[in-house]
Amino acid sequence: MACPRAQALQASQVESWCREESSPTARKTMWNLVRELFRQGESEAGLVWWLREEDRVLGRLLLARDGGGLRVGFLRLPWEGAWSGSLRRLMEAACQDARRRGAAFVEVPEEALELDPPAALGERLAELGFVEQPPVCTWHVRRLRTARPTCATLPEGAEVDGDEARWVPRTLTPERLSLGLEALASHGVQLVVLEWPGEARPGGLGPDWHLEEELLPRRWRLALNGDGVTAEGPST
């Protein structure tokens, strides 16, 4: 029996890679995602990988550029089967190629796994040199009533797109959260995706805002500078 082999794709193989999804809808969604990443220059065929044993696909990996490094945008393995060896083969090949490309790091965010990963994932990544990064908490908060427009200055780290905003403050206190949300509301923002380092709830949400979702995804980073030390802090 042939040994499983990890390979980066040729351009002609990208569509076949997308067809490995489980349904027509999922295949179309993946195809559109990959094409958009390619169009924006965030990825390319050589950053898309699969692990194959003859004609059988055992795993798939998509990398995207993230500053000076690479971020895993999609990782699919047989989590209920013999996934550990597949993970090692796929990540070792992709990380070796990333070094040749001059990438500073490779990062694996939990959200790229789509399905709940096994509890031992962190241990297996640690064996490959990955280090778990400090947590970044994400809140999705929605305003319960409309605020009157004012000339309030947007809080530092906030970007507004229509009635939605992404806010990434360096630090967060209850007072800063309250004032920042009110400033965003005065610009017509109804939904805020708020990210800050750490796990502690800052308080200060106030009665006008509703917490729809709280996420605390894990992420692991492998520095590719040869000393095994990760870059400081998580990527954003």
How do the pLDDT tens digits run along the chain, 236 residues long?
568 899 999 999 999 999 999 899 999 999 999 999 999 999 999 999 999 998 899 999 999 999 899 999 999 998 877 899 999 999 999 999 999 999 999 999 988 986 677 888 999 999 999 999 988 889 999 999 876 767 679 999 999 999 999 999 988 889 999 999 999 999 999 999 999 888 777 787 888 999 999 888 889 999 997 544 333 333 33
**Residues comprising the chain, all counted:** 236
Q: How many CB atoms lie within 10 A of CB 45?
A: 15
**Topology (CATH) of 5-128:** Aminopeptidase (3.40.630)
Residue 202's contacts (CB-CB under 8 Å, 6 or more residues apart) are 172, 173, 174, 176, 177, 196
Q: Which of 215, 235, 20 is nearest to 133 (CA)?
A: 235
Report how far residue 224's alpha carbon sits from residue 76's, in angstroms, rounded to the nearest whole number.
23
Cβ neighbourhood burial of 23 (10 Å; 0-12, 13-18, 19+): exposed
Q: Which of 88, 144, 119, 152 is nearest to 218 (CA)?
A: 119
Query: Where in the sequence of the chain do the CATH 3.40.630.30 domains occur?
Result: 5-128
Q: Identify the pLDDT of residue 1.
A: 56
Q: Which of 62, 22, 57, 8 is nearest to 38 (CA)?
A: 62
Cβ neighbourhood burial of 167 (10 Å; 0-12, 13-18, 19+): buried
| 168-172 own/partner pairs: CB under 8 Å, 24+ apart | 168/194, 168/195, 168/196, 168/236, 169/194, 169/196, 171/196, 172/196, 172/202
Report how far residue 135's alpha carbon sits from residue 196's, in angstroms, rounded to the nearest whole number.
9
Q: Which of 99, 11, 84, 12 is nearest to 51 (CA)?
A: 84
